[in-house]
Amino acid sequence: MTDERDVDLQRALALSAVPVPPEIDARILDAAGRRRARRRWPLAAAGALMAAATALFFAFRPAPAQARDVNHDGRVDVLDAYRLARAVEAGETAPRWDLNRDGRVDRADVDGIMTALVSLQ
């Protein structure tokens, strides 16, 4: 039974062993490549979207509690907001105090601390 199948297969292979012209070969390879490329773009788009989302998350993530501890006493309270407000009024603009990451150290950063410390969340 197995021998008969082998023979059939050999015959079929012999029949299909017609030489394929190289231009047809090239077209088949080209079409396969295009199909593969079409399949790849959704993956590439998803990857780009994830990268953009990650970049946005890191750019606009809320300042960690450590950053809000302006006076370095190990806790975040109104004295940190007060210290930062005085620094802003004095024109001190250390980049670490740009808590809202808008490129400026100003009253909005002080407000950010105040909002966070009275929040019940």
Partner 1 sequence: MKRLLLAFLLCSLEAAASTPRPADEGVRFRTLDVVLTSDAPIAAWQVEITTDGGDSRIVGVEGGAEPPFDAPPRHDPAALQSGRIILAAFDTGRALPAGKHRVATLHLREAGAAPRYQIELVAAGDPAGERVSATVTVDPRSPTP
- For 75, phi and psi rounded to 5 degrees? -145, 160
- The answer to the question of residue 79 lying near partner 1 (CB under 8 A) is yes
* Residue (38 or 72) nearer to partner 1, CB: 72
**Residues 6+ away with beta carbon under 8 Å from 94:** 87, 105
Single out the residue of 63, 69, 82, 100 in contact with partner 1 (rule: CB under 8 A). Answer: 82
Q: CB 62 → partner 1: shortest distance, Å? A: 15
- The answer to the question of residue 86 lying near partner 1 (CB under 8 A) is yes
User: What is the C-alpha to C-alpha distance for residues 71 and 68, in angstroms, rounded to an integer?
Assistant: 9
Task: Answer whether 113's CB lies under 8 Å from 84's CB.
Answer: yes
The contact set with partner 1 (CB under 8 A) reads 71, 73, 77-79, 81-83, 85-86, 89, 114-115, 117-121
